[in-house]
Structure 1
Amino acid sequence: MKVIPYIESEGCIGCGICVEVCPNGVFVMSSDKAVVMYPELCNGCGICVENCPVDVITLKWTDL
């Protein structure tokens, strides 16, 4: 089992903070929204969750 970030895309305001703060480059911006592009690179640190101003990022367990 591994932890990966999940973004509730409807609530994303496209600020790009998660892209900036993620130490592993998990996120990219696409069509003015943040997207989890490389979930396998996530180390589960939670920096993205802590810094999201609209609280739309959560960490979830997966079998990835």
Structure 2
Amino acid sequence: MKNIRIISDGTACGTQVLDADGTKIEAPIKRIEWCIDATGRIGEAKITFAHPIVELQGEIKDG
């Protein structure tokens, strides 16, 4: 798992997402959702990237 930092003034233009080294992530971000779990008191963030470039590996079995 990698750490990120989300800094926001409450507006879309004033929001930045930084990697663990403090470098701004320049990928086109479509949405950021975050919440704090009232039971476990754990913060959680979900970032949706527009048009992500991915590399996938998998295995296909016959049958």
Question: Could you say which TM-score interval applies, normalised by the shorter chain?
Answer: under 0.3
* Structure with a larger share of its residues in strand: 2
* Structure with a larger share of its residues in helix: 1
TM-score normalised according to structure 1 size: 0.22
TM-score normalised according to structure 2 size: 0.22
Q: Which has the larger radius of gyration?
A: 2
Greater RCO (CA < 8 Å, at least 6 residues apart): 1
